[in-house]
Amino acid sequence: MQGFATEFSSAIALILNGDAELWAIVLLSLKVSIFAVLISALIGMPVGAALAVARFPGRRMLIILMNALMGFPPVVVGLLVYLMLSRSGPLGVLELLYTPTAMIIAQVVLVTPIVAALTRQVVEMLAEEYSEQLRSLGVSRLASVPVLLWDARLALVTALLAGFGRAIAEVGAVIIVGGNINHVTRVMTTTIALETSKGNLALALALGAILIGIAVAVNAMVSTLSLRAEKEGLRHA
């Protein structure tokens, strides 16, 4: 118990004293996950919106596939991205393995289905509600996409935050493709795992506290926005 208290106070000291190593790790985590979410938004939102408004054979299959991808185990995603990026893999020439870029790719693979699925859900609901009015105004199916995305903005930001929450808290995929290399690819979650196993609890605890802070803040924003979206009659699971 004595040891735990010491670790705890040195964890607090690490945070308060602005420990360079600690903050470098936090910064890299944020950078990787924010990048990943932005890229996921660029891919996931148009794909989700297209699935919501377009009608083509195989659409249902794609939606089911997308929903299935949402529940994909992160470790397996890590493994697959590893195989793609490894020296003998199809993208091996890019030499991305064990770089932050590799971690971003893994998180994009994890987050994009979430963003796409949630976008599809809200946009489809809105499209149904707006359909006749927009047609009456002569807005084509294609031209209705930006209108729907804009009007679903609250729910979409919520989806992005949820994606960010998943990305930043994720360990399995990131440790496989990033390799947890000191000063290069160590993010909060992978560092916590490593330092805990090494017995360096102070750093692990400090990072844990910050991670919790971020998670709580993100979730608070998600609930606030969800409540507002709900008031506008727009909700998703």
Among 30, 38, 91, 147, binds another protein (CB under 8 A): 147
Quote the tokens at residue 161. Answer: 């935050």
Q: Any contact of residue 232 with another protein (CB under 8 A)?
A: yes
Cα distance between residue 187 and residue 101, in whole Å: 13
Cα distance between residue 170 and residue 29, in whole Å: 10
Span from 63-71, 109-117, 125-133, 195-203 in contact with another protein (CB under 8 A): 125-133
**Which residue lies nearer to another protein by CB, 151 or 170?**
151
Span from 34-42, 67-75, 106-114, 144-152 in contact with another protein (CB under 8 A): 144-152
**Which residue lies nearer to another protein by CB, 31 or 235?**
235
Cα distance between residue 55 and residue 62, in whole Å: 12
Which letter does DSSP use for residue 18 in this model? T
Among 139, 157, 194, 215, binds another protein (CB under 8 A): 139
Q: Any contact of residue 137 with another protein (CB under 8 A)?
A: yes
Closest C-alpha among 115, 136, 121 to residue 44:
115
Among 56, 136, 197, 199, binds another protein (CB under 8 A): 136
CA 92 to mean position of chain CA atoms: 24
What is the DSSP code string of 61-99? HHHHHHHHHHT--HHHHHHHHHHHHSTTSTTGGG--TTS
Q: Which amino acid, one-letter code, is at 139? A: V
Q: Any contact of residue 53 with another protein (CB under 8 A)?
A: no
Q: How far is the CB of 145 from another protein (least distance, A)?
A: 14
x/- site string to another protein, residues 79 to 118, per CB under 8 A?
----------------------------------------
Q: How far is the CB of 96 from another protein (least distance, A)?
A: 41
Q: How far is the CB of 151 from another protein (least distance, A)?
A: 4
Residues 153-182 that bind another protein (CB under 8 A): 154
Closest C-alpha among 155, 201, 214, 204 to residue 32:
214
Quote the tokens at residue 193. Answer: 């795992």
Sort 1 into a burial class: Cβ within 10 Å, 0-12 / 13-18 / 19+. Answer: exposed
Residues that bind another protein (CB under 8 A): 126, 129-130, 132-133, 135-139, 147, 150-152, 154, 231-234
